[in-house]
Amino acid sequence: MANRYAPLGEYGVIGDLHTVALVGGDGSIDFLCLPHFDSPSVFAALVDAERGGRFQIADMIRDESTPQCERVTNGSWANCVGGTVTVSCFIRMLAEIGFVRAACIKTTGYRTSASTIGAFFFAQKPSK
C-alpha cells in the first residue's frame, strides 16, 4: 500500500507571521491553525488523512464540448455543468489571461454526468 502522506519537505508554506498554512503539491491546504500558530487546527489532513480535513479548489471539465441545450437550462447551471469546458479549452483560457505552464494535474473521479468530471489544474502567473 502506498503512503498517503506526503513527506513534510514536499509542502509549501503560506503565512503572515501570525499563522501558517502547509500547502501540498496538489494545491490543497493540509494543515492550518487559525487565527494563530497555537490555535486549534482548522485543517489537519497532514496528520489524519481521513478525519483531519483539507481545503482544495477544483473545477469541472468535460470530455467533449457542452451541448447548447445543457448550457441554457437553470438546472445545468446550478449543477456547474452549463459552464464546463474541455481540458484544452480550460488551459487555453488560462493562457489567455496570462498564466503559463497550465496543465490538468489529475481528475477527481467525481462525475455530475457521463461526460463531466472534477479536475485539478496547475498554472503559474509569471513574475514581472
Mean pLDDT, residues 12-38 = 86
Mean pLDDT, residues 75-96 = 71
**Per mean pLDDT, which range of 22-31, 41-50, 75-84 is the poorest?**
75-84
The secondary element (H helix, E strand) that includes residue 116 is strand 116-124
Question: Cell 473545477 maps to which residue?
Answer: 59
Residue boundaries of the structural domains of the chain:
1-56, 59-124
